[in-house]
């Protein structure tokens, strides 16, 4: 049995960030990182952005081992004994620890009935498979109109593929963007040559790579060389549940990242549901900034820092030449206060609750204003058009 002071379950961005947080406070304690993928921790955003714009794959590696962490790739932790402070991996090897971090992330939702030849896009291996299929003129069907669907459709079209997007909402990004903006994005993608099939569910997929047949519930059919899906993710909570930790759409943690009221068990990143006093209640966030920031704070707390996490994480996306940053609750179901100096091209959308308080901001081609937006959210003040306009200065 190997023995670690810190055992990190999960080799994603959160796991890497946690190692950095640990090292901020403990330069020497042994760290074991167990990564189910065959790769050490890497940055995920380039898989749907920079690597399609000519950047070299070497840019993604995080260099976790350079922190003195023992990174075991291709090893999945399959059981925990919290009382004995031991973990067992899928090779049957046991490991003891003093502090445990669950950074197991999330797993992509699968399209019902889809086989392995459909790429449910999330990992470096998924990127490599899709990139190899994305030759000039290749036909691709992209299922899903959220983050992965919109970024991958743009990436494939920009690389000369003939792209069809199929998703159930009325518009691209419809869960985030106000309806008029989402409708504009549909038109923008069509101008870029993407066939946008909104309001449709995929009913069946036949064939395989190089000769797929896809049918929708509306009776449309498409042929494709590759099918890629981004249908959302579910938090990977099985280990935590089996170990008896409280789980409710994520492992429930306190402001320090501690789970189950224990001093020696933590969770961070996609898999953790954490308190957000600025917005009320708890949230689970599946974006890069949160993975990095929560991972680092919770890692530091594993090493005794006692720092509460009160960060409001931001996220960003590029949709061809359109781009934005966003923070807080960016939810199309909320009422909005909007200012658009250039309609659909440059503007700010403030999302408000029933009392008119700012809960989130979409900063559309507006840069460097995330901190100011955070201040408006934290202030709890009623949001008016002058404070939204101030974000455009
Ligand atoms: P998502 O939730 O953004 O979008 C899911 C999409 O799939 C929606 O359009 C939804 O309606 C559709 N869908 C769900 N079930 C479907 C079905 N049966 N048939 C057809 N469509 C269906 O999730 P995603 O795009 O898969 O992204 C996965 C994760 O990656 C998310 O956690 C996201 O936050 C993260 N991510 C973030 C960024 C970013 O921050 N820029 C970029 C890429 C991925």
Atom of ligand 1 nearest to the CA of 288: 40
Tokens, residue 359: 């809960």
Tokens, residue 362: 């979409």
DSSP code per residue over 143-185: E-SSHHHHHHHHHHHHTT-EEEEE-SSSSTTTTTS-HHHHHHH
Tokens, residue 313: 């994480």
Q: What string of pLDDT tens digits covers the 393 residues of the chain?
A: 899 999 999 999 999 999 999 999 999 999 999 999 999 999 999 999 999 999 999 999 999 999 999 999 999 999 999 999 999 999 999 999 999 999 999 999 999 989 999 999 999 999 999 999 999 999 999 999 999 999 999 999 999 999 999 999 999 999 999 999 999 999 999 999 999 999 999 999 999 999 999 999 999 999 999 999 999 999 999 999 999 999 999 999 999 999 999 999 999 999 999 999 999 999 999 999 999 999 999 999 999 999 999 999 999 999 999 999 999 999 999 999 999 999 999 999 999 999 999 999 999 999 999 999 999 999 999 999 999 999 998
Residues with CB under 6 A from ligand 1: 48, 111, 143-149, 151, 167-169, 201-202, 230-233, 286-287, 315-317
Residues 16 and 41 sit within 8 Å (Cβ to Cβ): yes
DSSP label at residue 233: E
The CA 231 to ligand 1 mean position distance, Å, reads 5
Whose CA is closest to 162, among 205, 224, 209, 228? 224
The CA 232 to ligand 1 mean position distance, Å, reads 4
The CA 291 to ligand 1 mean position distance, Å, reads 17
pLDDT of residue 20: 98
pLDDT of residue 113: 86
The CA 261 to ligand 1 mean position distance, Å, reads 32
* Torsion angles phi and psi, residue 166, rounded to 5: -125, 125
Tokens 């998703």, residue located = 167
Q: Ligand 1 test: best mutation among 230, 273, 331, most atoms within 8 Å of CB?
A: 230
Distance CA 48, CA 59 (A): 13
Atom of ligand 1 nearest to the CA of 315: 40
Residues 6+ apart with CB under 8 A from 117: 208, 209, 212, 227
277: number of Cβ within 10 Å: 10
Q: Cα 167 to chain center, whole Å?
A: 19
């Amino acid at each position: 049995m190997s023995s670690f002071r810190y055992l990190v379950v999960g080799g994603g961005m959160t796991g890497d960030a946690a190692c950095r947080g640990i090292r901020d406070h403990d330069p020497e304690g042994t760290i074991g990182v167990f990564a189910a993928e065959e790769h050490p921790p890497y940055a995920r955003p380039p898989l749907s952005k920079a690597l399609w714009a000519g950047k070299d794959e070497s840019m993604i590696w995080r260099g976790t081992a350079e922190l003195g962490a023992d990174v075991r790739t291709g090893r999945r932790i399959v059981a925990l004994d919290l009382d004995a402070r031991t973990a067992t991996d899928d090779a049957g090897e046991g490991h003891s620890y003093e502090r445990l971090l669950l950074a197991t992330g999330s797993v992509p939702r699968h399209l019902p009935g889809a086989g392995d030849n459909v790429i449910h896009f999330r990992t470096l291996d998924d990127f490599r498979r899709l990139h190899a299929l994305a030759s000039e003129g290749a036909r691709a069907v992209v299922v899903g109109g959220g983050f992965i669907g919109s970024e991958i459709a743009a990436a494939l079209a920009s690389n000369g593929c003939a792209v069809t997007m199929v998703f159930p909402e009325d518009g691209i990004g419809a869960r985030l963007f106000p309806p008029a903006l989402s409708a504009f994005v549909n038109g923008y993608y069509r101008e870029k040559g993407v066939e946008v099939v909104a309001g449709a569910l995929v009913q069946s997929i036949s064939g395989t790579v190089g000769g797929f047949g896809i049918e929708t519930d509306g009776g449309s059919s498409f042929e494709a060389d590759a099918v890629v899906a981004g249908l959302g993710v579910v938090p990977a909570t099985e280990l935590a549940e089996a170990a008896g930790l409280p789980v409710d759409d994520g492992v429930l943690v306190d402001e320090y990242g501690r789970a189950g009221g224990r001093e020696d068990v933590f969770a961070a990143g996609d898999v953790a549901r954490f308190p957000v006093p600025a917005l009320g209640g708890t949230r689970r966030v599946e974006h890069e900034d949160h993975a990095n920031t929560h991972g680092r704070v919770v890692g530091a707390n594993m090493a005794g820092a006692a720092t509460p996490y009160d960060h409001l994480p931001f996220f960003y996306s590029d949709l061809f030449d359109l781009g934005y940053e966003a923070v807080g609750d960016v939810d199309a179901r909320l009422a909005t206060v909007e200012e658009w100096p250039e309609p659909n091209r440059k503007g700010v959308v403030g999302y408000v609750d029933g009392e008119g308080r700012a809960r989130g901001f979409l900063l559309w081609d507006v840069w460097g204003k995330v901190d100011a937006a955070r201040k408006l959210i934290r202030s709890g003040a009623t949001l008016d058009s002058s404070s939204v306009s101030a974000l455009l200065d």
